[in-house]
Amino acid sequence: MAKQLLGKEVTAALNEKIKAQVAELESRGVKPTLGIIRVGERPDDVSYERGATKRCETLGVAYEKFLLPADVTQEELMATLDKANKDDNIHGILIFRPLPKHLDEAAVIKALKPEKDVDGITDGSMVGVFAGTKQGFPPCTPQACMEILDHYGIDCTGKKAVVVGRSLVVGKPAAMMLLKKNATVTVCHTRTVDMPSVVKEAEIVIVAAGRAGVVDGSYLCAGQTVIDVGINVNEEGKLCGDVKFDEAEPVVDAITPVPGGVGSVTTSVLVGHVVEAAARTLQ
């Protein structure tokens, strides 16, 4: 039976660190603040926002909402972003995406200041992840994976790690972050031949395929740590990951559940980025 890598344990430890940083910043006269730009009222956005603002409140981070109607013009959106960019009291900016189709999302991302890009969507942040430098911030989901590995003391140096999925938001950055942790990293994807045998060789597996149950028991073996990034709804309407948990859990050494795994850590990572962005303004 595998050890369960629980998001709530990772989050609790992260939150303690963040609170200490917030206290330190406040003693130096800085109140870390997140600017939230939301266009329209998409339920997913509203729900994520609620989670983020609640987490901010718990951790002593302020937030300011910039709510725009679904039919906002590009000019109005850009002006709002410009205001948040220029406001020294706002340290990080979260922009909900995808934006409605009439808006030029690329132009919006390009206008966002990399040093406020706590969600890791700008070119500057991407270069930071690719080069392994502290430019901008990595996307929250792959960083949540790293936080889980760190929290449970899973050293990556010299380990074989496999990432399933090559998206720009999870797979590729996760591969770069594992490389920085000195793992020997393999990236698999839909065109990989005989994926079960490739995944079976890994000691650390990060699954970000974006499809329920892609990784079943035939991919897994004893000794593995499995981080499941997937969040899907199965036929019974229940949340499930990209890994068949029932087949994985009796076999591998350690695994993140879904829900209660990676997803539950990302909000604290985001708030942590805001605090880090605030700290960087003092450097």
Kindly list the residues in this chain that would bind a second copy in the complex (CB under 8 A): 123-124, 126-127, 129-131, 157-160, 166, 168, 172, 175-176, 179, 182, 184-189, 191-193, 198
- For the CB of residue 125, give the shortest distance to a second copy in the complex, in Å: 10
- For the CB of residue 214, give the shortest distance to a second copy in the complex, in Å: 15
- For the CB of residue 181, give the shortest distance to a second copy in the complex, in Å: 9
Phi-psi region of 148 (alpha: psi -120 to 50; beta: other; left: phi over 0): alpha
- For the CB of residue 128, give the shortest distance to a second copy in the complex, in Å: 9
Q: Please, what sign has the CA dihedral across residues 76, 55, 118, 266? A: negative
Binding residues for NADP(+): 165-167, 231
Residue 32 or 171 with smaller CB distance to a second copy = 171
Residue 30 or 208 with smaller CB distance to a second copy = 208
CA 195 to each of CA 165, 185, 187, 204, 227: distance values in angstroms, whole numbers, following the listed order: 11, 15, 10, 15, 17
Residue 21 or 225 with smaller CB distance to a second copy = 225
- For the CB of residue 159, give the shortest distance to a second copy in the complex, in Å: 8
- For the CB of residue 197, give the shortest distance to a second copy in the complex, in Å: 10
Binding residues: 165-167, 231
CA 83 to each of CA 22, 34, 37, 78: distance values in angstroms, whole numbers, following the listed order: 24, 13, 11, 9
Q: 3-state SS of 251-283?
A: CCCEECCCCCCCHHHHHHHHHHHHHHHHHHCCC
Rounded to whole angstroms, the Cα distance separating 182 from 43 reads 40
Terminal Cα-to-Cα distance of the chain (whole angstroms): 47
Give the total residue count for the chain.
283
Residue 6 or 183 with smaller CB distance to a second copy = 183
User: Taking the mean position of all CA atoms in its chain, how far away is CA 250?
Assistant: 27
Residue 53 or 186 with smaller CB distance to a second copy = 186
Residue 184 or 232 with smaller CB distance to a second copy = 184
Rounded to whole angstroms, the Cα distance separating 204 from 226 reads 6
Partners of residue 228 on adjacent β-strands: 207
Phi-psi region of 7 (alpha: psi -120 to 50; beta: other; left: phi over 0): alpha
